Amino acid sequence: MSQSVWGPVQQEMSELLQGHPDDVPAVVDQLTKLQDILGRVPPLLGGNPLCDFNKLYLTITESVLERLYAGRFKDPAFLARLDVEFAARYFDALRAWAGPDASPRCPKVWSGLFTRIPGPDARPLPAACAGVNAHINFDLPFALVTTFDHLGTDPIDDSDQHHDYLQVNDIFAEAIPGLRRGYLDKWQLLIDTMNGCLDDWWQGEAVDYTRNVAWRNAQKLWGMRHDMAATDKERAHLDRIASDLGKLLLSPMGEFLQ
């Protein structure tokens, strides 16, 4: 990472990304520290688009941790491992990114969001959605495969693991209304109030659909996990699709759709 990428918080960012969280509390801790650092990256400071996504990601992960502590999951070892593997891909993308002209190892979908950190500014809600797109549509299938491989079991529908995976949809559904309204301006809040629960409903449906697609993609990747050429081809395919969607979400048209 070059000095121009993170400016005065370069050293703090480098030190933070040297660590690899090995449990969910450590993931929450690293996301919390990252949020503080991101809020001091010039020139946009707390207004940089990655802050908006990281805030959402931290909120969801804290809720996952609360459910783990409460014994709400049928297979807590699976959910905890998935949370760690999922976060690792986000932190790996940050490690790999070295600015808009030097990021060959960083997935294109993440580069599309990272390049917006120094401007031009992106509206909070589209920025958060672009991060969710990158993390679910690209990172999540691979995190699932790594998790199942580590635990020595298969990604089977209606299993305990699938049940726990779908519980995270409920966490999103509970968090979306408050999070989304936190990203809106006053005039947008007025329109949101007029729409009642409609926006919350369709965004919840979008999360359910996207995470179901990620599960299906994980099952597909699971079947080819010993074929590196096929896996690399599918990785490039998923990155391309997610990257195109990310560009749309960060465009003026994307903001209109949200």
CA R_g for the chain: 18
Residue ranges covered by each domain of the chain: 3-257
Tell me the residue type at 248.
Answer: L
Phi-psi map region of 209: left, alpha, beta (phi>0 left; psi -120 to 50 alpha): alpha
Distances (CA, A) of 100 to 60, 96, 97, 129, 206: 29, 11, 8, 21, 30
CA angle, residues 182, 185, 189, in degrees to nearest 5: 75
Q: What are phi and psi of 108, to 5 degrees?
A: -60, -35
Cβ-Cβ contacts under 8 Å for 96 (sequence gap 6 or more): 103, 105, 106, 107
Which residue from 165, 145, 258 is spatially nearest to 211, judged by alpha carbons?
Answer: 165
Sign of CA dihedral 83, 55, 128, 194: positive
Q: What are phi and psi of 185, to 5 degrees?
A: -80, 170
Which residue from 58, 182, 47, 13 is spatially nearest to 117, judged by alpha carbons?
Answer: 47
Torsion of CA 9, 111, 207, 13, to 10 degrees: -20
Per-residue tokens: 27: 């993931």
Per residue in 165-212, pLDDT (tens digit) is: 999 999 988 887 666 555 544 434 333 444 444 444 345 578 899 999
pLDDT tens for each residue of the chain, 258 residues long: 444 678 899 999 999 999 889 999 999 999 999 999 999 998 888 888 899 899 999 999 999 999 999 999 999 999 999 999 999 999 999 999 977 655 678 999 999 999 988 887 777 888 888 999 999 999 999 999 999 999 999 999 999 999 999 999 999 888 876 665 555 444 343 334 444 444 443 455 788 999 999 999 999 999 999 999 999 999 999 999 999 999 999 987 544 444
